[in-house]
Homo-oligomer: A and B are copies of this chain.
Amino acid sequence: MKQVVYSTVKLKPELRRMIEDYAEVYEVGEGGAPDLSRVTVLLCGPVTGQDLDAMKNLRFIQCVYAGVDSLPWSHIREDVTVASNVGSNADAVAEHAFALLLAAAKRITFFDQRVRGGNFEVVGESKMLHGRRICILGLGAIGTRVAEIAKAFKMHVVGYGRSLRSGAVVDEFYPPERIDEALKGCDYAVIALPLTKHTRGLITYERLCLMKRDGILVNVGRAPIVVKEDLVRFLKENPSFIFANDVWWNIRSPSEDSDVYSLPNTLSTPWVAGAASSRETYEEMLRQAVENVVRYLKGEKPLNIVRHEDYR
């Protein structure tokens, strides 16, 4: 059967040509929409449930983003293979996680603003990374990079996830059911988990209370892994605890998250760790997504196939 690839994101000519060696290619925004019933492979980006319903012959979905949680899952048939794009932005996101952690620990925004006003007074205390206990929630490509860098900072690394990649270096490892033990007594935690039915609402008030009261929680995964109301209560009760965050519950109407970002003990970036960080990172993500599509078209097994049941 002739393969028909539809991309809902724009592709550079050299990436498009990589696919054209194996399939007909349609890109979003080209004159005349493709006949969706002919599409066998979807490379996306944004897609509506309605469009998915029309793709009667769809066999494979390659997501451009690391997380596949935003796909309209109820419109995806069980027999369609779905691949995420994890790993493609792991370095960028791990770097952003440390930018947030260190800026919070060393109070960079606080001091920069004061110095700009001519105020050089030294007040309060900065926090060390060296020797501190950090819990890394999620040991995929991003979490594994965070662990490697944390070891270079001489931290005690507590890994939490389904499994440990070969070569990953942690000092302790806890599987999913042992979340409370993983968080207990940690100075810092970094959330690098995908959003699935298992991780949604994982971080509750009670679990936040397991961490040190002057700790730092970094979220570069997905916002709904943290119960927002619980977080707000915890941050109000513990003014020395800092929430350093890149991902949001209501990114399309962010003012609804002002209960978080208006708190003094937060540090915020507007979801810019990965694809939105730079053209270079986004293009690397596209390249890896296209390579995986080509893998599928050549009859090889694509990387990063996700389990439908985690998202339904």
Taking Cβ atoms with an 8 Å cutoff, the residues of A that contact B are 91-92, 95-96, 98-100, 102-103, 105-109, 111-116, 118-122, 125-130, 148-149, 151-154, 248, 251, 254-255, 258, 261-262, 267-273, 276-281
Contacts and interface: CB of A to CB of B under 8 A. Distances in A.
A47 to B, nearest CB: 21
Contacts of A254: 115, 118, 120
Q: Can you tell how many copies of this chain the complex includes? A: 2
Contact of A270 (B111, B251, B278): B111
A153 B94 CA distance: 9
Contacts of A267: 108, 112
A126 B151 CA distance: 24
A154 B95 CA distance: 11
A277 B108 CA distance: 12
Given A92-B126, A115-B254, A122-B270, 18 more contacts: A91-B128, A92-B128, A92-B130, A95-B105, A99-B105, A107-B269, A112-B268, A115-B261, A118-B261, A119-B270, A120-B248, A120-B251, A120-B270, A120-B271, A122-B272, A126-B277, A128-B278, A149-B149
Contacts of A278: 125-128
Given A91-B128, A92-B128, A103-B103, A271 B152 contact: no
Nearest to A248: B120
B270 A128 contact: no
A103 B269 CA distance: 11
A95 B106 contact: yes
A269 B112 CA distance: 6
A101 to B, nearest CB: 9
Contacts of A258: 118
A103 B112 CA distance: 11
A270 B114 contact: yes
16 contacts: A95-B102, A95-B153, A99-B106, A100-B108, A102-B103, A108-B269, A111-B269, A111-B270, A111-B272, A118-B258, A118-B261, A120-B254, A127-B278, A128-B277, A128-B280, A149-B152
Contact of A121 (B91, B106, B270): B270
B125 A279 contact: yes
A83 to B, nearest CB: 23
A154 B144 CA distance: 14
Contacts of A108: 99-100, 103, 108-109, 267, 269
A134 to B, nearest CB: 13
Nearest to A116: B261
Contacts of A281: 128
A151 B152 contact: yes
Nearest to A122: B276
A159 B278 CA distance: 28
